Structure 1
Amino acid sequence: MAEKITLYGFNNLTKSLSFNIYDVCYAKSPREQKDYISYINEQYNSERLTKILMHLTEMIGAHVLSLSKQDYKPQGASVTLLIAEETMIPASDTVVAHLDKSHVTVHTYPEYHPESCLATFRVDIDVATCGTITPLSTLDYLIGSFDSDIITMDYRVRGFTRDVTGKKLFMDHPMTSIQNYIDPKTLLRYDAIDINVYEANLFHTKMLIKDIDLQNYLFNTDVYELPPKERLSIMSRLRREMIEIFSGRNIY
């Protein structure tokens, strides 16, 4: 916002950003599929995910109140941060209070299909904030932090606050599309569509990578080791998998 709105009391609006990415990979044998899962677990363990969320929290100007992290067996990891918009204020000699609290969470879901030789790495990040913090400014950072073939994003603003005249405010910043908060150079790499419900302050955007460089999707295999027909077959399987995830339904 160019100018802050003068409010009566605190800003009671809650803003939630759900950010989900899918990274698809081809691993030709069961052993390579398991190796891929191990690789993903090592690359995106709870330590690295914590660093991503800590930087995200700094970007939105919030303060971390508590941290919980966990790596799971056989696969996956989770991190949860409890955050506050304002620095905590001493309420008395023994009690400490803060003006609002929110949270940031991340969960990973590595998995593979035993028949199609495709493995998928899914990351879910949820940022729930109160007051003036808007998590949309972190989208470019999140997209750049992961290999993102399919991205789905939901942004919701709930509740209301009041200005000094008592008028209810159900939104405290202009909003038409999540895409407006993503670098245009990033958008050029994806096909993107919006499904928005403006009357309810609900915004949804999903994105599908346009171009596939097969080498980037082969795990422990060089593209030139494969005959042309096999390359085309793998490309077809990768694209079909991405389209179904993007569409949210079984098509083929």
Structure 2
Amino acid sequence: MKELDKGLKLHGFNNLSKTLSFSIYDICYAKTRRHVDEYIAYIDEVYNADRLTQILTDVTEMIGANILNIARQDYDPQGASVTILVSEEPVAAEILNKENGNVEAPGPLGGTKVASSVVGHLDKSHLTVHTYPESHPENGISTFRADIEVSTCGRISPLRALNYLIHSFDSDIVTIDYRVRGFTRDVHGKKHFIDHNINSIQNFMSEDTRRRYRMIDVNVYQENIFHTKMLLKEFDLDNYLFGHGREDYAPEELAGIERSLRKEMQEIFYGRNMPDMG
């Protein structure tokens, strides 16, 4: 017999599956093919298997899991993979009390960047990270996407790792999904399809994150599905030029680059192609 928050007594194991998945986008302008290649090489160097391993190690500690085994590999010419086998028990008491990730309050923050490919198994649960560098030869826009999923069952919650993972990237756009699947029974045989209160993923984010991003929610409460889209509010062109600085461009060229970058960000955020911004 186990016990959930609020004193709910369960019959057997908590069979609810909780999945937090999101895509994180970093956008830059690389004028030449050489600069695009240098950008991809930079991504590959910064986001290697060692960095991925540290991120997953931090995440498993945050959600109260135990690492059993780690396997990692850097690939030639680029990319990396990490697999972590993790068990749920024992779960630290402070993870399960009022500071649990299931409570609508921000979890801990982090500052380490992550990328490439990661798979971590948490004893019927898993963590994954996959990265997708992309560029176009005509407009100079390069977009780096990282897809992340943290799926747990039992009492541990992936929501506790939300802030750390967001702060681990320099993110221009973030799309987040959280869903709870299955059911668990209490000692009286009654089914419970969720074991915590939630009305928005935003409630689990830190205050500085909510200030930095414009956010839109699309939630289906009766299905325990929650979706949040995030777009960085402030735009500083200096942060998006790779290989050259402002001084290397004419004013009219800078204006065109900024329009292209803003268009790229709007299209990703709204999920549709848009007309040129003039």
- 2:157 paired residue number: 134
Is 2:256 the partner of 1:233?
A: yes
Which amino acid letter does the alignment assign opposite residue 244 of structure 1? E
Q: Using the TM superposition, name which of 169-178 and 76-85 deviates more.
A: 76-85
Q: Using the TM superposition, give the Cα deviation of residue 75 of structure 1 relative to its aligned residue in structure 2, in angstroms.
A: 3.5
- 2:83 paired residue number: 80
Residue from 5, 19, 26 that aligns with 1:16: 19
Flag structure 1 segments of 5+ consecutive residues without an equivalent: 89-98
SS of aligned partner of 1:25: strand
Q: Using the TM superposition, give the Cα deviation of residue 162 of structure 1 relative to its aligned residue in structure 2, in angstroms.
A: 1.1
Is 2:252 the partner of 1:249?
A: no
Alpha-carbon distance change, 75 to 59 in structure 1, aligned in 2, over 3 angstroms: same
Verify the 8 A CA contact 1:86 1:100 in the aligned structure 2.
no
- 1:64 paired residue number: 67
Q: How does 1:99-248 map to 2 (within 5 A)?
A: 100-248=123-271
Verify the 8 A CA contact 2:85 2:123 in the aligned structure 1.
no
Give the TM-score normalised by structure 1. 0.90
Flag structure 2 segments of 5+ consecutive residues without an equivalent: 92-121
Q: Using the TM superposition, give the Cα deviation of residue 174 of structure 1 relative to its aligned residue in structure 2, in angstroms.
A: 0.4
Distance 1:180 1:131 in 2: 22
Distance 1:85 1:226 in 2: 54
Q: Using the TM superposition, name which of 216-225 and 202-211 deviates more.
A: 216-225
Alpha-carbon distance change, 114 to 74 in structure 1, aligned in 2, over 3 angstroms: farther
Q: Using the TM superposition, give the Cα deviation of residue 143 of structure 1 relative to its aligned residue in structure 2, in angstroms.
A: 1.1
Verify the 8 A CA contact 1:7 1:163 in the aligned structure 2.
yes
Distance 1:39 1:132 in 2: 39
Q: How does 1:2-41 map to 2 (within 5 A)?
A: 3-41=6-44
Distance 1:249 1:67 in 2: 39
Q: Deviations over 1:83-126 (max 9, x none)?
A: 221149xxxxxxxxxx9531111111112111110111111111
- 1:53 paired residue number: 56
SS of aligned partner of 1:81: strand
Which amino acid letter does the alignment assign opposite residue 47 of structure 2? Y
Verify the 8 A CA contact 2:5 2:195 in the aligned structure 1.
no
Q: Using the TM superposition, give the Cα deviation of residue 220 of structure 1 relative to its aligned residue in structure 2, in angstroms.
A: 2.1
Distance 1:186 1:114 in 2: 33
Distance 1:66 1:3 in 2: 34
Give the TM-score normalised by structure 2. 0.82
Which amino acid letter does the alignment assign opposite residue 102 of structure 1? S
Distance 2:87 2:221 in 1: 28
Q: Deviations over 1:148-188 (max 9, x none)?
A: 00101111100111112221111101011111101122111
Q: Using the TM superposition, name which of 20-29 and 43-52 deviates more.
A: 43-52
Q: Deviations over 1:1-23 (max 9, x none)?
A: 86342211111101111121000
SS of aligned partner of 1:188: helix
Q: Using the TM superposition, give the Cα deviation of residue 195 of structure 1 relative to its aligned residue in structure 2, in angstroms.
A: 1.0
Across the aligned residues of Structure 1 and Structure 2, the Cα RMSD in angstroms comes to 1.9
Distance 2:268 2:81 in 1: 22
Q: Aligned residues: percent identity?
A: 60
Q: Using the TM superposition, name which of 169-178 and 70-79 deviates more.
A: 70-79
Q: Deviations over 1:45-100 (max 9, x none)?
A: 12211111110111001012333434344443333333221149xxxxxxxxxx95
SS of aligned partner of 1:126: strand
Verify the 8 A CA contact 1:75 1:110 in the aligned structure 2.
no
Distance 2:242 2:80 in 1: 21
